[in-house]
Amino acid sequence: MKLRKPWMISTAAALGALALRSWLATVRYRYQPLGPNMDPHRPEMTGRYLYAFWHENILLPASQYARPDIHVLISQHADGQLITKICKRLGFSVVNGSTTRGGVKAFREMVSISETSHLAITPDGPRGPRRIVQPGVVMLAARTGLPIVTMGIAYAAAWRAKSWDRFAMPKPFSRAHLVTGELIHVPATVTPETLEPYRLWVQASLDHATAAAEAWAASNRWQAPEPLIPPPLSEPTADAA
């Protein structure tokens, strides 16, 4: 059944947020940084950051990091209104748009918001391909000046939807594991023509953090992976731009 009337969407969002909050509260959360501790709940946390995680794993950030000073990008697809209202009830601030629908407006809004807020984005969303970083996250980092924090997420036990991203739903009373990578700084001079080395670096960092989280979830024992060696990235010159 399609939810078209505003009161139906609001009611469904309220019930959905309550159910999600109760369900996810049973999931045990564990965190390990590969670089600096990037938990935004830390009292000594300073600065603002661009958090990037795979589309399939949005439930863990929703349960652990939903707060007004983190703006998350939600695509304008058919269920966007409902998802937006659920995210807001969980505590997130929301920007509506994507790389395909409402993209320019959303991009400009995220750039403006970044002056006072963290940002969160799923770099393979809203339609995939699954676990493939799209250029938008690199351009957003370049225009905002925010360092990218890659977030590898895995669950010890989860249901998987038959969607393009194989959306993950952790089972009640299971474990969720989060691993963050080293900070990635993108120069302001990067353009759509020169961003590919940075996109590949974000891809490698997300894959590395995700593999570490998945190994941790499978064994229930943390073992630090081999360090990921940064590629020789050089700031684009004016001629290259």
Confidence band (pLDDT; 50, 70, 90) for 237?
Answer: low
CB distance 164 to 128 below 8 Å: yes
To the question of pTM greater than 0.75 for the whole model, the response is yes
What percent of the chain is modeled with pLDDT above 70?
89
Give the pLDDT mean for 219-228.
95
Other beta carbons within 10 angstroms of residue 236's beta carbon come to: 19
State the DSSP code for 230: P
Phi, psi torsion values for 7, nearest 5 degrees: -65, -35
| pLDDT above 80 (res 36) | yes
pLDDT value at position 46? Answer: 86
Q: Which residues contact 208 (CB under 8 A, 6 or more apart)?
A: 34, 150, 152, 181, 225, 228
Residue 3: helix, strand or coil by DSSP?
A: coil
pLDDT value at position 240? Answer: 47
User: Regarding predicted confidence, which is higher, 106 or 176?
Assistant: 176
Average confidence score pLDDT of the chain: 87
Taking the C-alpha atoms of residue 51 and residue 146, their distance in angstroms, rounded to an integer, is 9
Minimal CA–CA distance to 135: which of 86, 88, 195?
A: 195
Q: Which residues contact 104 (CB under 8 A, 6 or more apart)?
A: none
Taking the C-alpha atoms of residue 152 and residue 35, their distance in angstroms, rounded to an integer, is 13
Give the pLDDT mean for 23-33.
94
Per-residue pLDDT of 45-80, as tens digits, reads 889 999 999 999 988 998 888 888 899 887 766 556
Give the pLDDT mean for 208-229.
96
Residue whose tokens read 């409402």: 102
The whole-angstrom distance between residue 115's C-alpha and the CA centroid of its chain comes to 19
pLDDT value at position 126? Answer: 81
pLDDT value at position 151? Answer: 97
pLDDT value at position 130? Answer: 96
Per-residue pLDDT of 98-127, as tens digits, reads 655 557 888 899 999 999 999 999 999 788
Give the pLDDT mean for 72-91.
73
